[in-house]
Amino acid sequence: MNPIISVSNLSKVYSNGYRALNNVSLDFHSGEILALLGPNGAGKTTLISIICGIVNPSEGSVTVGGHDIIDDYRITRSLIGLVPQELTLSMFVTVWNTVCFSRGLFGKKPNPAYLEQLLKDLSLWDKKDSDILTLSGGMKRRVLIAKALSHEPSILFLDEPTAGVDVELRKDMWNLVDKLRQSGVTIILTTHYIEEAEEIADRVGVISKGELIVVDDKEALKHKLGKRQMMIELENAIDKIPDLLSSWDLELSAEGNQLTYTYDTYSTQTGIAELLRAVDGAGLQLKDVNTSQSSLEDIFINIVNTPLHTR
Amino acid sequence: MMNTYAVRVIYKYEMLRAWDTIMQSFASPVISTILYFVVFGSAIGSRIETVEGVSYGAFIVPGLMMLALLTQSVSNASFGIYFPRFTGTMYEVLSAPISFAEILLGYVGAAATKSFIIGVIILITAGLFVELKIAHPIWMLGFLVLTCISFSLLGFIIGLWANSFEQLQLIPMLVITPLVFLGGSFYTIDMLPPVWQTVSLFNPVVYLVSGFRWSFYEVSDVSIQLSLFMVLLFSAVCLATVWWMFKTGYRLKQ
Burial class (CB in 10 A: 0-12, 13-18, 19+), B12: middle
User: What is the arithmetic mean of pLDDT over A208-237?
Assistant: 80
Q: Does A118 touch chain B (CB under 8 A)?
A: no
CA distance A240 to chain B (A): 55
Provide CATH code, domain A5-223.
Answer: 3.40.50.300
Averaged pLDDT score across all residues of chain A: 86
CA distance B173 to B177: 6
| pLDDT reported for residue A298 | 60
Q: Which of B92, B245, B251 to mutate to test the interface with A (most CBs of A within 10 A)?
A: B92
Q: A130-134, A170-174, A294-298, B85-89 — which is least confidently predicted?
A: A294-298
| pLDDT reported for residue B213 | 92
Residue A309 pLDDT grade (very low, low, confident, very high; cuts 50, 70, 90):
very low
Mark B196-215 as b/e (b = at least 16 C-beta within 10 Å).
eeeebeebbbbbbbbbbbbb
A105 with B93: Cβ contact below 8 A: yes
CA distance A250 to A258: 10
CA distance B14 to chain A (A): 11
Between positions 134 and 173 of A, the ones with CB within 8 A of B are 147
| pLDDT reported for residue B143 | 93
Q: B29-38, B40-49, B90-99 — which is least confidently predicted?
A: B40-49
Phi/psi at A123 (nearest 5 deg)?
Answer: 55, 40
Q: A41-45, A299-303, B119-123, B173-177 — which is least confidently predicted?
A: A299-303
Residue A310 pLDDT grade (very low, low, confident, very high; cuts 50, 70, 90):
very low
CA distance B108 to B156: 7
CA distance A159 to A48: 8
CA distance A49 to A44: 9
CA distance B215 to A80: 51
Convert B59-111 into a string of H (helix), E (strand) and C (coil): HHHHHHHHHHHHHHHHHHHHHHHHHHHHHCCHHHHHHCCCCHHHHHHHHHHHH
The answer on pLDDT for B47 being more than 80 is no
| pLDDT reported for residue A311 | 37
User: Over the stretch B106-122, which tens digit does the pLDDT of each residue have?
Assistant: 999 999 999 999 999 99
The answer on pLDDT for A129 being more than 80 is yes
**Residue B46 carries which DSSP code?**
G
| pLDDT reported for residue A184 | 93
Which residue did the predictor score with more confidence, B29 or A106? A106
CATH 3.40.50.300 domain extents, chain A: 5-223
User: What is the arithmetic mean of pLDDT over B198-213?
Assistant: 89
The complex's ipTM works out to: 0.87
| pLDDT reported for residue A305 | 62
| pLDDT reported for residue B251 | 82
State the Cα angle at B218 between B214 and B219, rounded to 5°: 75
Burial class (CB in 10 A: 0-12, 13-18, 19+), B77: buried
User: Over the stretch A225-236, which tens digit does the pLDDT of each residue have?
Assistant: 667 788 888 888
The answer on pLDDT for A308 being more than 60 is no
| pLDDT reported for residue A294 | 58
State the Cα angle at A79 between A177 and A217, rounded to 5°: 50
CATH 3.30.70.100 domain extents, chain A: 227-293
CA distance B171 to B173: 5
Query: Hey, what's the torsion of the CAs at A124, A129, A131, A132, to 10 degrees?
Result: 20
CA distance A261 to A256: 14
B98 with A14: Cβ contact below 8 A: no
A227-293 CATH, one of 3.30.70.100, 3.60.15.10, 3.40.50.720, 1.10.3720.10: 3.30.70.100
| pLDDT reported for residue A276 | 86
Which residue did the predictor score with more confidence, A292 or B210? B210
CA distance A138 to A158: 15
Q: B86-100, B157-171, B185-199, B234-248 — which is least confidently predicted?
A: B185-199
What is the interface size between A and B, counted as CB pairs within 8 Å? 78
| pLDDT reported for residue A268 | 67
Q: Which residues of B touch A (CB under 8 A)?
A: 1, 3, 5-6, 8-10, 13, 16-17, 20, 84, 87-89, 91-99, 249, 253-254
The number of beta carbons lying within 10 Å of the beta carbon of residue A69 is 21
Q: Using alpha carbons, list the distances in angstroms from residue A118 to A114, A115, A151, B246.
A: 6, 5, 11, 34
